[in-house]
């Protein structure tokens, strides 16, 4: 099916055979047409249609398809923007977590050093009190009370150390969760890119 018109066999301005193209936009999609074969700026443009005008029903269907394509592109842009914002927030959260982690490590080291120093003092005091107990039997009862108090203090320090270890463990779990979320977002972006490539292709 086509337009039988010998005038379309040549470009009127240059008298040369035109090039055949296929429209790929709007309701003319798929319709063949002829254009001037001369390169710019000598090209005089459109020569004429090869195919007859599409039926109105087909034109409406083509317009609907183009509308769906534009909607899909718009949705992809919105998804990309949303994912970019998520990645930005997660990156900021990870940066803050790293900063807090460094401060936490410094605080933990200070606490551990303090606990070790206090433990050494406690052990030294225990040893001194035991020596004094051997030398001074009359102060046996008072020495016993002091040793008990020091033992309780050491138990508290051990509890504090255990709490710090739990805090470090929770911090590591949070870092893993954030890394997993970043990987999931990266996979989603790859899927969206594949969909965009398919639609654009």
- For the record, the structure tokens of 95 come out as 């940066």
Q: Do 100 and 173 fall into the same domain? A: yes
Q: What is the pLDDT of residue 136?
A: 65
Q: Do 105 and 149 fall into the same domain? A: yes
- For the record, the structure tokens of 185 come out as 């977002």
Q: Do 96 and 168 fall into the same domain? A: yes
Residues 6+ apart with CB under 8 A from 197: none
Q: Do 76 and 165 fall into the same domain? A: yes
Q: Is the pLDDT of residue 141 over 80?
A: no
Domain that holds residue 135: 71-200
Q: Do 50 and 94 fall into the same domain? A: no
* pLDDT tens digits for range 142-188: 777 877 888 887 888 888 888 888 888 889 899 999 988 999 888 88
Q: Do 168 and 196 fall into the same domain? A: yes
Q: Quick check: is 61 in a domain? A: no
84 alpha carbon, distance to own chain's centre: 7
**Cα separation, 89 vs 96, whole angstroms:** 10
Q: Do 79 and 169 fall into the same domain? A: yes
End-to-end CA gap in the chain: 28
Q: Quick check: is 60 in a domain? A: no
For 130, 150, 185, the CA distances from 140, given in Å and listed in that order, are 9, 16, 69
- Bridge partners for 46 per DSSP: 35
* pLDDT tens digits for range 30-74: 899 888 888 888 777 777 888 899 999 999 999 999 999 999 999
**Cα separation, 181 vs 157, whole angstroms:** 37
Helical (H) or strand (E) element with 141: helix 140-200
Q: Is the pLDDT of residue 4 over 90?
A: no
Q: Quick check: is 157 in a domain? A: yes
Q: Do 111 and 186 fall into the same domain? A: yes
Q: Do 44 and 76 fall into the same domain? A: no
pTM (whole model) above 0.85: no
Tell me, what CATH number does 127's domain have? 1.10.287
Total structural domains within the chain: 2
The closest alpha carbon to 119, from 155, 162, 168, belongs to 155
Q: Quick check: is 66 in a domain? A: no
**Cα separation, 83 vs 183, whole angstroms:** 12
Q: Other CB atoms closer than 10 Å to residue 183's CB: what's the count? A: 10
Q: Quick check: is 63 in a domain? A: no
Q: What is the pLDDT of residue 201?
A: 63
Q: Do 115 and 78 fall into the same domain? A: yes
Q: What is the pLDDT of residue 8?
A: 54
Q: Other CB atoms closer than 10 Å to residue 1's CB: what's the count? A: 5
Sign for the pseudo-dihedral over CA of 36, 41, 42, 46: positive
Give the least confident one: 45-49, 103-107, 131-135: 131-135
């Amino acid at each position: 099916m086509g337009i039988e018109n010998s005038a379309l066999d040549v470009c009127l301005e240059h008298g040369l055979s035109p090039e055949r193209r296929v429209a790929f936009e709007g309701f003319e999609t798929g319709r063949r047409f002829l254009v001037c074969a001369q390169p710019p700026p000598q090209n005089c443009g459109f020569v004429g249609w090869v195919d007859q005008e599409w039926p109105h029903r087909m034109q409406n269907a083509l317009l609907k398809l183009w509308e769906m394509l534009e909607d899909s592109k718009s949705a992809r842009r919105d998804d990309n923007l949303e994912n970019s914002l998520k990645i930005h927030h997660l990156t900021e959260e990870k940066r803050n977590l790293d900063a807090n982690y460094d401060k936490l490590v410094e605080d933990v080291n200070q606490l551990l050093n303090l606990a070790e120093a206090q433990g050494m003092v406690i052990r030294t005091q225990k040893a001194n009190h035991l020596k004094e107990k051997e030398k001074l039997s009359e102060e046996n009862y008072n020495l016993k009370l002091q040793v008990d108090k020091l033992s309780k203090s050491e138990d508290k320090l051990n509890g504090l150390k255990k709490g710090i270890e739990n805090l470090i463990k929770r911090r590591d779990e949070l870092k893993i969760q954030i890394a997993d979320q970043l990987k999931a977002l990266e996979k989603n972006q790859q899927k969206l890119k594949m969909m965009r490539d398919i639609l654009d292709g």
